Amino acid sequence: MPGRGLGITEALDEALPAVIQELFTFLTQLGDAWFLFTAVALVYWFVNRRRGAFALSAILGALALTLALKGLFELPRPPADLHVGHASGYGFPSGHAIGATTLWALLALVLERGSHRWRAIGAGAVVAVVATSRLVIGVHYIVDVVVGIAIALTYLAVLLYVTEWSPTRGFAVAAGITVVALATNGLTPDSVAMVAGVAGAAGTWVLLDTRPSGSVHLPAAVVGLAGLGALGYVGNRFDLPLAGVFVLNLLVPVGILTLPLVVERAKKARSASPT
């Protein structure tokens, strides 16, 4: 796909001062994987268990779709001398554009603050910021992010139609896309992490004998996010054997889905213990 940059990434690199580029390295985190999982965890813990579990399945499917398409097209990123910060792997389509569009569109549908119109405008604004950030920090071309947004909107529309907000069906779709990602990428740390995440989430959701209904208090959420974040960081940033990558990435979605149940049972145990 020659000329997919249209010179925009290069022009931004020349026109913008370093301080603006550094600012966008922070704004781009709104579409990073750690932020996506944090957001769906908070929806699951504090907003709605069923919708939160569905959001988790949708994000896993979006990440698997990104991996599958990157492995299929194998198109490079812009030259390394344009990069501000770390970026690896193929450039097309933009995973941040796909992930951010999927997440923020879901939040606009799930959350009940304000009107649908203003939630949609807010979601669109954040997606635009994330997409722009990928160009400003020099890790994508314009076609990468525009196509990424289009892919995500199409994916989410089809997913909602097929699953009707069913988490079980959502995890089944994510599993199917993960098989395609394995086929286009082979057995790599990224594909193994993807398999582990989908397997952990789907298996936990199916095997939960009761859907946890109790509230998760803020300290438990903070501890949970810190612990799961550490697992995810080690599982994806360190050069581990594939078995280690699998185990650590399996535990992250398991922890998201089971934390309310752990908190619920801990509360019951404390109330039942003699004083």
pLDDT, one tens digit per residue, over 105-137 is 999 999 878 788 899 999 999 999 999 999 999
Amino acid at 45: W
Render pLDDT for 12-64 as a digit per residue (tens, 0 to 9).
Answer: 878 888 889 899 999 999 999 999 999 999 999 998 899 999 999 999 999 99
Neighbours of 109 (CB within 10 A): 17
Per-residue pLDDT tens over the stretch 211-239 = 666 678 888 899 999 999 999 999 888 88
Instruction: Compare 176 and 266 and report the one with higher pLDDT.
Output: 176
31 in any annotated domain:
yes
What are the angstrom distances between the C-alpha of 40 and each of 35, 55, 134, 271? 9, 6, 22, 30
In a domain, residue 272? The reply is no
Instruction: Give the mean model confidence (pLDDT) for residues 142-149.
Output: 95
| pTM given for the model | 0.93
Encode burial over 32-60: b for 16+ CB neighbours within 10 A, e otherwise: ebebbbbbbbbbbbeeebebbbbbbbbbb
Compute the average pLDDT of residues 244-260.
93
Is 112 part of any domain?
Answer: yes
The answer to the question of residue 217 being in a domain is yes
Give the pLDDT confidence score for residue 274 in this predicted structure.
Answer: 62
Q: Which two tokens stand for residue 271?
A: 């109330």
- Domain count for the chain: 1
- Per-residue model confidence (pLDDT) at position 261: 85
User: How many residues are listed for the chain in this entry?
Assistant: 275
**62 to 56, 73, 83, 195, 211: CA distances (angstroms):** 10, 17, 24, 13, 25
Residues 105, 58 contacting (CB under 8 angstroms): no
179 within domain boundaries: yes
Residue 54 within a domain: yes
Domain membership of residue 273 (yes or no) is no
